[in-house]
Structure 1
Amino acid sequence: MNPPEVVSTTPLRVHAVAPRTLHLPLKGEYFDQIKAGTKPEEYRLCTPFWGKRLMGRNYDTITLTRGYPSRDDTARRLVLPWRGFAIKVITHPHFGPAPVSVFAIRVTP
């Protein structure tokens, strides 16, 4: 019986998998409430746009920004672990007087 043939002695390349991050820019008042710990969820309307970004996806972290800060402005940026979301029906002044379906993204640390 012959020994197995050596095809290559080069080690296999291991590709680093970048962590998946959901980026959410927020209005100042909502960013401040989340940073203070008084707002446990961030809301996005149940639209096809947000459905594609949330349904069936898994993220490692969520980055919340106060507006659109520069990359080195860490005071206006929160990086939190991804805790998932739920679909809820809420009434909120930002969305008008009628109840609406939203993705309630958990942002508690």
Structure 2
Amino acid sequence: MGDNLTIPVNGVYFDQIKAGTKLEEYRLVKDSWTKRLVGRVYEHVIMTRGYPKADDHAKRLVIPWRGYTVKTITHPHFGPDPVEVFAIDVSAPPRAAITPTPDTTTDGDGGAS
């Protein structure tokens, strides 16, 4: 443990996570996300509002890692058909930004919320 998973999200979703009204962040089940999630344990999920500068802590939420589940959902971001997603748990209250330890920074690929 000790690594962090950094996930950039759209500002609307960032604000919902910060307010505690959005409890899961969805990512398509595909090779890139399977490699990042399956069999991995992180210390924190660091949600960023877009791709902020390293010293812009107002655009970072540090959330304890609580894992994920795999679900089939329908969401406008993914189109009209049901899709299989990793539903990453972001329900824990965020805490003040930390200076990240080595992490797995995502490329924003396949994300929706």
Say whether residues 1:42 and 2:25 are aligned partners. yes
Structure 1 distance, partners of 2:64, 2:78, is 27
In structure 1, the partner of 2:63 is 80
Look up the match of 1:93: 76
Segments ≥4 residues shifted beyond 4 Å = none
Separation (CA, whole Å) in 2 of partners of 1:93 and 1:43: 12
- 1:1-109 matches, within 5 Å, as 19-109=2-92
Please, what TM-score do these two structures have when normalized by structure 1? 0.82
| Higher-RCO chain (CA-CA 8 Å, sequence separation at least 6) | 2
d(CA) in 2 for partners of 1:79 and 1:50? 20
CA distance in 1, matches of 2:78, 2:72: 11
- Gapped regions of structure 1 (runs ≥ 5): 1-17
How far 1:61 sits from its partner (Å)? 0.6
* Equivalent AA in structure 2 for residue 75 of structure 1: A
Count how many residue pairs are aligned between Structure 1 and Structure 2: 92
Percent of aligned pairs with the same residue? 61
What is the alpha-carbon distance in structure 2 between the residues aligned to residue 19 and residue 28 of structure 1? 27
- CA-based RMSD: 0.9
Structure with larger Rg: 1
**Distance across 2 between alignment mates of 1:73 and 1:57:** 27
Name the aligned partner's letter for residue 74 of structure 2: T
